[in-house]
Amino acid sequence: MTSDTDQSSLLGGKLSVINVGLDKFATELADHDVPVVHLDWKPPAGGDPELAALLSKMGT
Amino acid sequence: MELIEKANKEAIRRMLGAEPVLIDVVPAGEIVPDLKDKMILHAGPPVEWNHMCGPMQGAIAGITVFEGWADDLEQAASMAAGGGITFDANHHHDAVGPMTGMTTVSQPMLVVENRTTGNRAYCAINEGLGKVMRFGGNDAEVLNRLAWIRDVLGPAMGKALRDMGGIELKPLIARGLSMGDEMHQRNVACSGLVLRAIAAAMAKISDDSTALSEALAFISANDQFHLNIAMAMGKAIMDPVRDIKGSSIITAMSRNGTDFGIRVSGTGDEWFTAPVEMPEGLYFAGYTEADANPDMGDSTIVETIGLGGFAMGASPAVAGFVGAGAASEAANYTHRMSEICAAENPEWTIPSMDYLGVPSGIDVRLVVDSGIAPTINTGIAHREPGIGQVGAGVVRAPMACFEQAVRRLAEKVGIS
Amino acid sequence: MEHTLNKVFQGFYKDSVALMRLSRDLAEMAGVNEAALMMGSPSNKQILKDAGLLADDGAAAEGGDLILAVRAIDASAAQNAANAIEPQIKSQTRTTTGDTVWQPQTIRAAAKANPDANLALISVPGEFAAAEARKAISRGLHVMMFSDNVSIEDEISLKTQALEQNVLMMGPDCGTAILEGVPLAFANNVTRGDVGIVGASGTGIQEVTSLISNNGGGISHAIGVGGRDLKDEIGGISTLMGIDRLDDDAETKHIVLISKPPGKDVLPRVMKRIKQSPKPFTVCFIGATDLNLPANATAARTLKDAAQTALGGKEFEEKISSNTSSLGGRTKIRGLYSGGTLAAETQVILLDAGLEVASNAAVPGAKNLTDDGDAHQIIDLGDDQFTQGRPHPMIDPEIRKEPLADALADNNVGVILIDIVIGYGAHPDLAGQLADMLSGMQGENDPIIIASVTGTEQDPQVRSSQISALQAAGIHVAGSNADAAIAALDMLGINS
């Protein structure tokens, strides 16, 4: 997706953010006219860190 | 993980490449593999008599009398309790059944063939709403209707389907989605489309206009007639997806009124079960939650292929009917389900959602990771046998069975 | 009789900042001795237990459940407080930035719905942050991870994965970045320009970018990499990738590196990479000595030096009037810092003046606070010992209250140094809050307080307003943190 980096931009495109966590960050980005999707995040795997880690290794 | 991603690609290829066709109606004894006399196939993962819920036991007593294995319901019950009947899950015999899901030798079975892979799947004919065997009904009215289905409707449909060369189901579902069906709690459009497709052939093969009229009237009067066809289709689509090494795609979801069970492609035919939950929904006048039986049936196979609760966006009317909220929220259910699916089905689209394909291929990893349980649209049975459907609602699959499946799959692919 | 009550909200998530705010409100209710709202993870339950706030209900909660814990003078006070706070817990503060009701719950769904997305900003609790970052990287997203408490093993694996995918892994514990002119997390609204920054320190980046911006320069991009990136275990993966990006960036004419001194294996690799670059570098490895820099690089001893060097050696001096008459023989400096790198910069300046310095985050040459003897004490209030279960002092300046009272009461302390770091993410009025805090504490013959304000006029708090508020409270304000430290030396009559 981003491996062929656009030379005109550090990130290979205009900044567009997925915000995972504090909603304040999403609000501040939106104030700067940065496109942002704020996740309705919940702890993965029902809040079981061991299961969440297992899943992330399985490629979720 | 690459193994899983590749396996899931293959699973999706098989799902989306399926060509299901309703080809025949045949008595179960002649066509369902390994189905014997004094054997009853039921919905859900395997369950013993003494763990069965009320409606399941009621249906078993009724079907035992219907088959002539016992003279009355009492004798039937003691026969079942005493080990005189062999039980097994429909899913172990290429079959599915709604609610209690009774399958026995003499019942006429809808036959859906997957023309891509050549496998077939079976489901009994839908009896209609109200007091029916799939909700545990077992009195004379129920048994007489079953006899008529066995003797008149089943043979007529079978002959007509053979004569016309079957009904292709993929385009029929596509049209049904654009007409507001989600194929679990709303089948009114698809039932009409089936009637339209089969009526001429039934008239052509019939030499008894009264019987023909009764048969067409029965199909016309049953808004859920197509549900059982959709279920056989779901089974025919998902069976070839079983047993792909590493795949995390769910191949079956099913409930027996006691437990909810799932199977995952990469873990083969093992069931992962957890106590089934109570549906939340709306009740017909005169009934309340206190009357409800826990969730039941193989009909969740339609959610497994991306219909039912997953296609809620196509069916705003159902969102209201099952008590899932305002019609305008129906699309959110489909969006939510797309978070746990590997793909969208490009042939089954939802016009009002900019032709978004129904979310297909439930990935057990995504279910557990997101904590989003598959949403299932379901009918609600009375907890006492013999009363029938008392409402409709939404039930969430219990997370515990998905967690077990993830851990087993991790073991199988060597991740710890 | 004192009573501990727990109430568990199953499968109910709220972010930690919201919970801390609610915890504070709950703790202030009538009859409440102690209170907390936390998600029921094993580590949180231990914190509640240690605080004597865990009852049976809470002990049975799962990681995805929210625990309301309150200890009050009696059972009814506990119940009343819990009832009073409940509506606030349940009120949704949902931010929708689009016009749809549906908010994706997973990175996967969000990336699918928004194919142009190129950065995931992750600030969830540390125990889940690595898993979320892994998902983002595998989708080709750059990651800025604000979360801390992520293991070094996870950091290594994430950065290795990011290297393979050619995306930037900024963090864990990356508080600050400015990308494409946009300040992210705790950053300042600076002028856009030609200085690019790669920094392992959030407040270090904030101080340098603000000083450059306030003195006529500008910033192209500032890439945060997390405090451990230049340790040998990590190998400087993100720093080196950041340099690559800035090297390729046409807008960037000068590159500044900011970090604690790198590990001994990493250092030569960074030097080699600098040497390959056609661009001039300023290297500010705070506390490092004897750097063997290539010809295109200049060493900066302090953050202020780094900013000056990046602007071609421009001197920005802002002397403040010194008045030593009121010190009454007290000779020690006490630094109370919210910014770890600002604390480090002060230590370096004091050490360079030949002083003995002790700190809970000691730079090379400084002692640990525990065996300080009678050294000057520079305290990093952002350190874990102060922030366990509490927000960072840049969000919740109350953390400064106790150490400030101690310093004011200490007869040896002549000068107190304080940093006020403003900008996005920070408390809306740190200066006013400090003034309020002081008004109840000050007495006769108090130590002199010298502060500096890191930030710009364009920041939401407005730097000049913060300065005025501090001055009105009798606090001396220097132009930079380094100037504040030097002013402290002046006031104590020490030649820097």
Find the closest chain C residue to B329 by CA distance: C101
Q: What mean pLDDT, rounded, does chain C reach?
A: 90
The arithmetic mean of pLDDT across residues C83-107, rounded, is 69
- Closest CA of chain A from C451, distance in Å: 27
CATH of the domain at C304: 3.40.50.261
The arithmetic mean of pLDDT across residues B386-391, rounded, is 76
Q: Are strands B259-264 and B250-256 parallel, antiparallel or unpaired?
A: antiparallel
**Domain locations in chain A as residue ranges:** 17-57
**Residue C292 burial (CB < 10 Å; 0-12/13-18/19+)?**
exposed
For residues B327 and B399, is the Cβ–Cβ distance under 8 A? no
C117·A37 Cβ contact <8 A: yes
Q: What mean pLDDT, rounded, does chain A reach?
A: 83
Find the closest chain B residue to A43 by CA distance: B370
In a shared domain, residues C309 and C332: no
Of B28, B22, B20, which is closest to residue B164 (Cα–Cα)? B22
What are C321-359's pLDDT values in tens digits? 655 556 777 889 999 999 999 999 999 999 999 999 999
End-to-end CA distance of chain A: 18
Determine the Cα–Cα distance for residues B318 and B325; give it in Å rounded to an integer.
10
Check CB contact of A16 with chain C, cutoff 8 Å.
yes
For residues C63 and A49, is the Cβ–Cβ distance under 8 A? yes
The arithmetic mean of pLDDT across residues C477-489, rounded, is 95
Q: Is residue C29 part of a domain?
A: yes
- Closest CA of chain C from B103, distance in Å: 39
Chains that touch A (3 or more CB pairs under 8 A): B, C
Return the pLDDT at B246.
97
- Closest CA of chain B from C109, distance in Å: 5
Q: Is residue C363 part of a domain?
A: yes
Determine the Cα–Cα distance for residues C222 and C209; give it in Å rounded to an integer.
8
Amino acid occupying residue C432: G
Report ipTM for this prediction. Answer: 0.88
Alpha-carbon torsion (C263, C266, C267, C270), positive or negative: negative
Confidence band for B35, pLDDT divided at 50, 70 and 90 = very high
What are B60-74's pLDDT values in tens digits? 999 999 999 999 999
Q: Is residue C127 part of a domain?
A: no
Interface test with B, best of C13, C106, C165 (most B CBs within 10 A): C106
Residue partners of C30: CB distance under 8 A and separation at least 6: C77, C80, C81
A44·B369 Cβ contact <8 A: yes
Considering CB atoms only, which of C11, C64, C106 is closest to B339?
C106
Amino acid occupying residue A41: W
Q: What is the pTM of this model?
A: 0.81
The arithmetic mean of pLDDT across residues C426-437, rounded, is 93
Q: Is residue C246 part of a domain?
A: yes
- Closest CA of chain C from B370, distance in Å: 6
Return the pLDDT at B414.
93
Check CB contact of B50 with chain A, cutoff 8 Å.
no
* B341 against A9, higher pLDDT: B341
Give percent above pLDDT 90 in chain C: 70
- Closest CA of chain B from A41, distance in Å: 9
For residues B95 and B26, is the Cβ–Cβ distance under 8 A? no
Return the pLDDT at C59.
93
Q: Taking CB atoms and an 8 Å cutoff, what residues of chain B touch A56?
A: 369
What are A44-53's pLDDT values in tens digits? 999 998 998 8
Q: Which of C29, C57, C90 is the last residue of a domain?
A: C90
Confidence band for B262, pLDDT divided at 50, 70 and 90 = very high
In a shared domain, residues C338 and C441: yes
Return the pLDDT at A6.
44
Q: Is residue C100 part of a domain?
A: no
Q: What mean pLDDT, rounded, does chain B reach?
A: 93
Q: CATH: 1.20.1250.20, 3.90.1700.10, 3.30.565.10, 3.30.559.10. Which one for B242-413?
A: 3.90.1700.10
Return the pLDDT at C101.
65
pLDDT at B305 over 90: yes
B368·A59 Cβ contact <8 A: no
For residues C317 and C308, is the Cβ–Cβ distance under 8 A? no
Containing B21, the helix (H) or strand (E) segment is strand B20-27
pLDDT at C316 over 90: no
pLDDT at C89 over 50: yes
Check CB contact of A50 with chain C, cutoff 8 Å.
no
Residue B281 sits at φ, ψ, to 5 deg, of: -170, -155
Find the closest chain A residue to C41 by CA distance: A47
In a shared domain, residues C394 and C311: no
* Torsion angle in degrees (nearest 10) through CA of A54, B263, B55, B34: -160
Q: Which of C90, C125, C140 is the last residue of a domain?
A: C90
Q: Taking CB atoms and an 8 Å cutoff, what residues of chain A touch B413?
A: 58
SS3 category, C387: helix
pLDDT at C237 over 70: yes
A25·C40 Cβ contact <8 A: no
For residues B371 and A44, is the Cβ–Cβ distance under 8 A? yes
In a shared domain, residues C344 and C487: yes
SS3 category, B300: coil
> Token match 């015999």: residue?
B93
Domain that holds residue C271: 192-225+236-316
Return the pLDDT at B131.
74
pLDDT at C308 over 70: yes
In a shared domain, residues C442 and C465: yes
Confidence band for A2, pLDDT divided at 50, 70 and 90 = very low
Say how many domains are in chain C: 3
In a shared domain, residues C344 and C306: no
Return the pLDDT at C95.
35
What are C357-368's pLDDT values in tens digits? 999 999 999 999
SS3 category, B116: coil
Return the pLDDT at C323.
59
What are B89-103's pLDDT values in tens digits? 999 999 999 999 999
Alpha-carbon torsion (A22, A27, A30, A32), positive or negative: negative
C123·A35 Cβ contact <8 A: no
The arithmetic mean of pLDDT across residues B219-233, rounded, is 96
Considering CB atoms only, which of B335, B369, B372 is closest to C102?
B335
Confidence band for B9, pLDDT divided at 50, 70 and 90 = very high
> Hey, what are B20's tokens?
């299901």
Q: Taking CB atoms and an 8 Å cutoff, what residues of chain A touch B410?
A: 54, 57-58
Q: Taking CB atoms and an 8 Å cutoff, what residues of chain B touch C130?
A: none
Confidence band for C372, pLDDT divided at 50, 70 and 90 = low
Confidence band for C93, pLDDT divided at 50, 70 and 90 = very low
Domain B20-233, classified CATH 3.90.1710.10, yes or no: yes
Considering CB atoms only, which of A5, A20, A56 is closest to C122?
A20
In a shared domain, residues C362 and C221: no
Q: Tell me the residue ranges of DSSP E strands in B125-210.
A: 167-168
SS3 category, B264: strand
What are A4-50's pLDDT values in tens digits? 444 446 776 789 999 999 988 999 999 999 999 999 999 999 999 89
In a shared domain, residues C259 and C387: no
pLDDT at C397 over 60: yes
- Closest CA of chain B from C134, distance in Å: 12
Q: At CB < 8 Å, which residues of chain B contact C?
A: 329, 331-332, 335-336, 338-339, 366, 369-372
Give percent above pLDDT 70 in chain B: 99
Name residues 1-60 of chain A within 8 A of B (Cβ): 42-46, 51-52, 54-60
> Hey, what are B178's tokens?
């654009």
Interface test with C, best of A2, A17, A29 (most C CBs within 10 A): A17
Positions of CATH 3.90.1700.10 in chain B: 242-413
The arithmetic mean of pLDDT across residues C439-459, rounded, is 89
